[in-house]
Amino acid sequence: MSVVLERLPVDPSGRSGVLSNQLKRQRVYIFPTLQGWLYALMLVVMLLGAINYNNSMAYMLCFLLASLGLVCMIHTYRNLAGLILSSTTPKPVFAEQQALFPIQIDNRLSLARYSIQIESYKTKKLLFRKREPRHIVSVSVKAGKPLTSYYPVMTTERGILKLERLKLSTNFPLGLFSAWAYFEPEFYCLVYPAPKGSKQLPQNVLHKENVDYGMQSGTDDFSGFRKYRPGDPVNSIAWKAFAREQGLLVKQFSGKSSQTLILNWDAVSYINDLESRLSQLCYWVLLAEEFSIQYGLEIPEKIIGPGLGAHHKKYCLETLARYGKQK
């Protein structure tokens, strides 16, 4: 037998970024385990002994154990069938960090599910197509409640990490049978370059630019407020004004100059390896954001103007992660 993944109807609320599939009963695969085959062999030997000695108690014990095996098969099958699986886009991580893919298991029946194992199999293109087991996560789901589990994958390089097909299996309750089904998440994890390299910002691309008085966020004389724009530093927001329900306002200070950092290929020209260049640029983006220095990014086929803030940092890191990669 086996569990197929049927695409559920689109959520009428219009939510995006969620993929749901239901494990249909006619697609839950089930097969005896090694212990199950030994159990069946034992029953055959017992039956032969009961026939040979015409012992009614031996017949009763043999049929009782055979019934127990059939009941175990039904419970193993029901422990997996009918579950609803959902996946969402995982949070981006840096290379050499662990990516966590969220997998939500929704159990809408009044039947608790125990000892469900989630694992990913990588197919090797060799003779007999040997499959190498990966990390295994074991969960149990209460009756009528959803459970969110995270499947970890260790990243080794930047780019787009696609989670392989997941296998859900269970041997509950006695381990005589194994039931399994497959789930293929369609979401991927964005992996930023590993932030490595020099800890000092490049001075040859650090320059000052003139700005009008009262039109910059600095540390000189206070000159007023302006409306918040995406990318503005969080520490420049007037939180007291926000508490008075005046909206998001940014404090402005009078000054004559501000520093702007332009990160480009010239700044990492001394590095020969492409990945090492991207790692250094990634590290400088994080440092510039930490020190609240406006920065821009210029790499082949992509130019990002100076900016600051969480959105600007995310845009720059995504650009570095996707450079030379295809979705």
pLDDT at 92 over 50: yes
Domain 5-28+80-190 -> CATH class: mainly beta
pLDDT at 121 over 80: no
Give mean pLDDT, residues 24-29.
Answer: 77
pLDDT at 78 over 70: yes
Gap between the Cα atoms of 190 and 318, Å rounded: 8
Nearest to 103 by CA among 217, 23, 195, 35: 23
Stated as kind and residue range, the H or E segment containing 41 is: helix 34-53
Quick one: pLDDT band at residue 223, thresholds 50, 70, 90? low
Task: List b or e across 260-278, with b for residues whose CB sees 16 or more CB atoms inside 10 angstroms.
Answer: bbbbbeebbeebeeeeebb
Give mean pLDDT, residues 28-43.
Answer: 94
Nearest to 179 by CA among 33, 24, 21: 33
Give mean pLDDT, residues 132-153.
Answer: 87
End-to-end C-alpha distance for the chain, whole angstroms: 35
Give mean pLDDT, residues 119-129.
Answer: 60
More confident residue, 325 or 32: 32
pLDDT at 327 over 50: yes
> Which single residue is written with the structure tokens 């009918």?
82
Q: Model pTM? A: 0.71
Q: What one-character-per-residue DSSP string does 224-286 give?
A: EEEE--TT--GGGB-HHHHHTT---EEEEEE-SEEEEEEEEGGGGTT---HHHHHHHHHHHHH
| β strands within the chain, DSSP E | 5-7, 18-23, 29-32, 84-88, 93-94, 98-106, 113-123, 131-141, 146-154, 159-162, 166-170, 177-183, 188-192, 206-210, 221-227, 249-254, 257-264, 294-299, 302-307
Give mean pLDDT, residues 94-116.
Answer: 91
pLDDT at 170 over 80: yes
Lowest-pLDDT choice from 28-42, 51-65, 229-243, 248-262: 248-262
What is the amino acid identity at position 316? C
More confident residue, 29 or 218: 29
pLDDT tens digits along 37-55: 999 999 999 999 999 988 8
Q: Residue 100 is encoded by which pair of tokens?
A: 């966590």
Give mean pLDDT, residues 32-39.
Answer: 95
pLDDT on residue 18: 54
More confident residue, 201 or 218: 201
Report the SS3 class of residue 157. coil
More confident residue, 224 or 148: 148
pLDDT at 126 over 70: no
The separation between CA 18 and the C-alpha centre of its own chain, rounded to angstroms, equals 12
pLDDT on residue 230: 65
Quick one: pLDDT band at residue 19, thresholds 50, 70, 90? low
Residue spans of the domains in the chain: they are 5-28+80-190, 203-322
